[in-house]
């Protein structure tokens, strides 16, 4: 008796509903859809009331999350995870005997999932502990860089990232430019970008990342290209065409 527990997106789609219902009807297994829940508390309540064989769980369910529901029903039910975000899937599922569906749900992928479920229903549900931990790790908010550790002569200096006005690529290194001076960082700009908060630091050129709060204004040069003027430094930073969309209102 499959049970869908999902949020407003797939798998509550007509495609998923029709496919799972029709497959079980053809199989003559006596299994049927037991219900749907719109949030995680409702999903847990539905599970306890109906005790289904299969649950389709949306990872991003309102309430807590589909992962919390999975922890509650682990070992008592086969689970198919549904997500719109690929980072939750792929590697996390490679070594687990658990299926997943990416939104929007693809018909062929759904059909293959249903076929695999038919074979797995004869076995006990797999242990989800390792998979749930991997998925939880991917769902945690990223921790962004807060301090730069730089060396000046014999000293190691800690520079708060929030004091950096602009990062500029310099050969194999990066310059962190603050009101107090320039600091050489051994981390390449492309690697540094992955450690910075994207809401606070914008790449405006392949050679430059600017702290948003440091921008005083943006003008255009004689060729029509955008130029960033920094608030506390007498410095201009060119904006490449690839990143001009950030200032398209100009």
Dump the DSSP string for 84-132: S-GGGSTHHHHTSS-EEEESSPPHHHHHHHHHHHHHHTTSPPPP-HHHH
Per-residue tokens: 89: 């899937």
User: Rounded to an integer, what distance in angstroms lies between the CA atom of residue 51 and that of residue 7?
Assistant: 19
pLDDT for res 99? 82
Give per-residue pLDDT as tens, 178-219: 998 999 998 899 889 989 998 899 999 999 999 999 999 999
Instruction: Specify the DSSP class assigned to residue 38.
Output: S
Question: Superfamily assignment of 147-247 in CATH?
Answer: LytTr DNA-binding domain (2.40.50.1020)
Give per-residue pLDDT as tens, 43-76: 899 999 999 999 998 877 766 678 889 899 999 9
Q: Report the candidate in 57, 79, 72, 56 with the shortest Cα–Cα distance to residue 126.
A: 79
Classified by CATH at the fold level, domain 2-139 comes out as Rossmann fold (3.40.50)
The model's confidence at residue 28, banded by pLDDT at 50, 70 and 90, is very low
Is 226:215 a contact under the CB 8 Å cutoff? no
Domain boundaries, the chain: 2-139, 147-247
Burial pattern 139-176, b for ≥16 Cβ within 10 A else e, equals beeeeeeeebeeeeeeeeeebebebbbbbbbeeeebbb
Q: Indicate the SS3 state at residue 146.
A: coil
Angle ∠(212,213,216) on CA atoms, nearest 5 = 95
207 class by beta-carbon count within 10 Å (0-12 exposed, 13-18 middle, 19+ buried): middle
User: Rounded to an integer, what distance in angstroms lies between the CA atom of residue 214 and that of residue 240?
Assistant: 18
Give per-residue pLDDT as tens, 124-176: 998 888 888 877 776 666 678 999 988 777 788 899 999 999 999 987 889 99
Residue 6 has pLDDT above 60, yes or no: no
Q: Report the candidate in 72, 10, 71 with the shortest Cα–Cα distance to residue 36.
A: 10
Is 164:197 a contact under the CB 8 Å cutoff? no
Threshold 0.85, pTM exceeds = no
Per-residue tokens: 106: 């693809």
User: Rounded to an integer, what distance in angstroms lies between the CA atom of residue 54 and that of residue 33?
Assistant: 9
Burial pattern 85-118, b for ≥16 Cβ within 10 A else e, equals eeebbeebbeebebbbbbeebeeeebeebbeebe
Residue 21 has pLDDT above 90, yes or no: no
Q: Report the candidate in 17, 18, 4, 99 with the shortest Cα–Cα distance to residue 58.
A: 4
Q: Report the candidate in 245, 200, 240 with the shortest Cα–Cα distance to residue 221.
A: 240
């Amino acid at each position: 008796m499959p049970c869908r527990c999902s949020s407003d997106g797939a798998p509550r789609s007509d495609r998923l509903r029709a496919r799972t219902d029709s497959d079980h009807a053809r199989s003559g297994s006596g299994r049927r859809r037991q219900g749907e829940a719109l949030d995680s508390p409702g999903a847990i309540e539905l599970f306890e009331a109906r005790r289904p064989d299969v649950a389709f769980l949306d990872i991003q369910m309102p309430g807590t999350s589909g992962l919390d529901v999975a922890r509650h029903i682990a070992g008592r039910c086969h689970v198919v995870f549904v997500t719109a975000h690929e980072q939750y899937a792929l590697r996390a599922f490679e070594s687990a005997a658990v299926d997943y569906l990416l939104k929007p749900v693809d018909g062929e992928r759904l059909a293959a999932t249903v076929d695999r479920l038919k074979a797995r229903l004869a076995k006990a549900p797999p242990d989800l502990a390792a998979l749930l931990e991997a998925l939880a790790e991917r769902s945690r908010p990223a921790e962004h860089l807060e301090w730069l550790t730089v060396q000046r002569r014999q000293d190691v200096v800690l520079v708060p990232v929030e004091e950096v006005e602009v990062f500029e690529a310099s050969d194999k290194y990066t310059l962190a430019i603050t009101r107090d001076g320039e600091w050489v960082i051994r981390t390449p700009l492309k690697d540094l970008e992955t450690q910075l908060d994207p809401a606070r630091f914008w790449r405006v050129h392949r050679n430059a990342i600017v702290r948003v709060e440091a921008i005083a204004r943006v003008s255009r040069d004689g060729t029509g290209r955008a130029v960033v003027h920094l608030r506390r430094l007498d410095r201009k930073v060119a904006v490449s065409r690839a990143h001009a969309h950030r200032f398209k209102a100009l």
